[in-house]
């Protein structure tokens, strides 16, 4: 059994994301999360002032781990931009989100942001950062600035939609996203001829 001394704030944050994914933002409650972690509610306060503090830390953690850490990981590979784009798709579709509630986590964050200004602000910042990064990679592949932004929007929009379809068994998230990426890259090659 976990104790207040063995649980980290990351453990609580992951459990809070699972609660969000399963029950929406109203499910982010100290008592319910403590029950999931099999600890007393009192241990929550070793890491967070209150539930709003937990929510703020969740959003910060998500921006850092699901965006900045992935970008840093992709950039650490000194390969051409097209290979970095493939690495990005692999990273964005791997199983690192399982501890947070799986592929529905990002959709749950988007739903949260519909009704919460702080979540909406972080979501917009994350979306802008991700789209700008993909556009930069496409630019490094030879796309014009307009086409790189359009391609980034298409690829990122596909990720968002395919996550929902894949959760229902209607899409192969990684395969379909890689297929779209290959189509985008071929369109740049065709434009260069």
How many residues belong to the chain?
A: 193
The distance of Cα 104 from the centroid of its chain, to the nearest Å, equals 10
Structure tokens at 192: 């260069």
The C-alpha atoms of residue 73 and residue 160 are separated, in whole angstroms, by 21
Nearest to 108 by CA among 18, 14, 172: 18
**Positive/negative CA dihedral, 103, 11, 16, 32:** positive
pLDDT of residue 43: 86
Intervals of the chain under pLDDT 50:
1, 3-4, 193
Give the pLDDT confidence score for residue 105 in this predicted structure: 95
**DSSP states of 115-183 as a string?**
H-HHHHHHHHHHHHHHHHHHHHHHHHTT--HHHHHHHHHHHHHHHHHHHHHHHTTS--HHHHHHHHHHH
Q: Look at residue 193 in the predicted model and tell me its pLDDT.
A: 38
pLDDT at site 157? 97
CA dihedral over 85, 126, 109, 2, signed as positive or negative: positive
| pLDDT at residue 190 in the model | 61
The rounded distance, in Å, linking the Cα atoms of 20 and 62 is 13
Angle at 192 between CA 159 and CA 145, to 5 degrees: 50
Dihedral sign (CA 119, 124, 129, 133): positive
């Amino acid at each position: 059994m976990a104790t207040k001394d063995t649980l980290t704030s990351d453990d609580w944050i992951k459990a809070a994301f699972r609660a969000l994914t399963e029950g929406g933002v109203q499910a982010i409650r100290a008592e319910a999360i403590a029950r999931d972690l099999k600890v007393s509610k009192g241990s929550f306060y070793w890491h967070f002032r209150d539930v709003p503090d937990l929510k703020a830390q969740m959003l910060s953690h998500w921006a850092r781990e699901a965006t900045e850490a992935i970008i840093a990981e992709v950039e650490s590979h000194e390969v051409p931009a097209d290979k970095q784009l493939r690495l990005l798709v692999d990273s964005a579709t791997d199983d690192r989100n399982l501890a947070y509630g799986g592929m529905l986590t990002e959709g749950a964050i988007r739903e949260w942001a519909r009704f919460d200004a702080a979540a909406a602000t972080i979501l917009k910042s994350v979306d802008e950062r991700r789209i700008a990064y993909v556009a930069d990679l496409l630019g490094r592949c030879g796309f014009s600035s307009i086409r790189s932004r359009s391609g980034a929007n298409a690829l990122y929009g596909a990720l968002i939609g395919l996550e929902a379809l894949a959760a229902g068994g209607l899409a192969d998230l990684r395969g379909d996203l890689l297929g779209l990426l290959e189509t985008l890259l071929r369109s740049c090659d065709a434009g260069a001829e």
